Amino acid sequence: MSEPQIVVTPELIERYFSLTAAAREKATPIHSPETPEGMRLATMMEMADSYASDARWFVEQGDLVRAFGAINYAHAWIDCAVKIGLMDGHDDDDMFTLP
């Protein structure tokens, strides 16, 4: 039995943009920005923001597959920060992989 194919549509991409923006807003730093942990988190969030920006650029270029990949990478950076304890996911196990 073959698995159903997922079609990457502009609506699907927008759903993932919304999910990633909600994750970025919900997760909060645990450490002060001046600590080593806070500095590592800043780098991780810079990566998340860069991937989200790249995803928007790919959408503008009409490349929905790469946009889908990039926005998922953005969410993954945020999720990772929650998983390793640099951010608090506020017990949201639907949006994050909790520690």
pLDDT in tens, 6-56: 899 999 999 999 999 999 999 999 999 999 999 999 999 999 999 999 999
Whole-number pLDDT of residue 1? 72
Global confidence as pTM:
0.92
User: Number of folded domains in the chain?
Assistant: 1
CATH number at 45 reads 1.20.1270
Residue 94 covered by a domain: yes
- pLDDT value at position 6? 84
In a domain, 40, yes or no: yes
User: Do 38 and 71 contact (CB within 8 A), yes or no?
Assistant: no
DSSP output for 15-64: HHHHHHHHHHHH-EESS-TTSHHHHHHHHHHHHHHHHHHHHHHHHHTT-H
Question: Per the domain annotation, does 87 fall within a domain?
Answer: yes
Q: How many CA atoms lie within 13 A of 83 on its CB side?
A: 10
Establish if 63 belongs to a structural domain: yes
Residue 23 belongs to some domain of the structure: no
Summarised one tens digit per residue, pLDDT across range 50-99 is 999 999 999 999 999 999 999 999 999 999 999 999 999 999 999 999 87
Domain assignment of residue 17, yes or no: no
| Residues spanned by the domain of 48 | 31-99
**Domain annotation covers residue 89:** yes
User: Does 10 fall in a domain?
Assistant: no
